[in-house]
Amino acid sequence: MLRISALLMVLFLFGCSSVDISQYQDNQPTLSLPEFFNGPLTAHGILKNRSGEVIRYFNATMTGSWDEEGIGTLDEDFIFDDGEKQKRIWTFTPDGKGSYLASAGDVKEAVPVKTSGNALFMAYVLNILYKGKPLEVSIDDKMYLVSDKVIINESIMTKFGIDLGYITLTIIKDGNDTGS
């Protein structure tokens, strides 16, 4: 009986383990933040509650730019189906190790951006308004470059380890790379 309990515990732990980004290292096309997040982009997405029901739709316009020191800015303007507007400005700062730290005004602290092959993973605490009151939620972002012009982004929103909702969006790079 003890062996069965131990086996079940091991299976449970492995079943809950997160995906290792290194498994995507050979996937193409390779995602480069300064290349993809440069110039105009659009995003289209849905927000599901923890039951999987779609509760909101949104569209966004984004503009990415990079300065001579390699610091990137991604300016995002969201419009939700109920008319709510949100703005977020991400800053991607080189970490000296070939990667970036990401920060935004409504993100609790700068976080590492992990990239490998066509994948980008980022986990952060986001400050949102819920029923008119501030609430900190954890976001686990996983992005996958599926073509030179399209990223699919899946995010899980949690609080105290409990799934609150799921965000799925497609980010599309416009044809003209005018950002710099």
Q: Which two tokens stand for residue 2?
A: 């003890």
In the numeric block, the tokens 């091991």 are attached to 10
Check whether domain 21-173 has CATH 2.40.128.20, yes or no:
yes
Q: What is the pTM of this model?
A: 0.84
- For residues 140 and 31, the answer to whether their CB atoms sit within 8 Å is no
Q: How far is CA 82 from CA 27, 58, 95, in A?
A: 38, 9, 38
pLDDT string in tens for the chain (180-residue length):
555 444 444 444 444 457 899 999 999 999 999 999 999 999 999 999 999 999 999 999 999 999 999 999 999 999 999 999 999 999 999 998 889 999 999 999 999 999 999 999 999 999 988 888 989 999 999 999 999 999 999 999 999 999 999 999 999 998 654 444
Domain limits of the chain? 21-173
Q: What are phi and psi of 140, to 5 degrees?
A: -115, 100
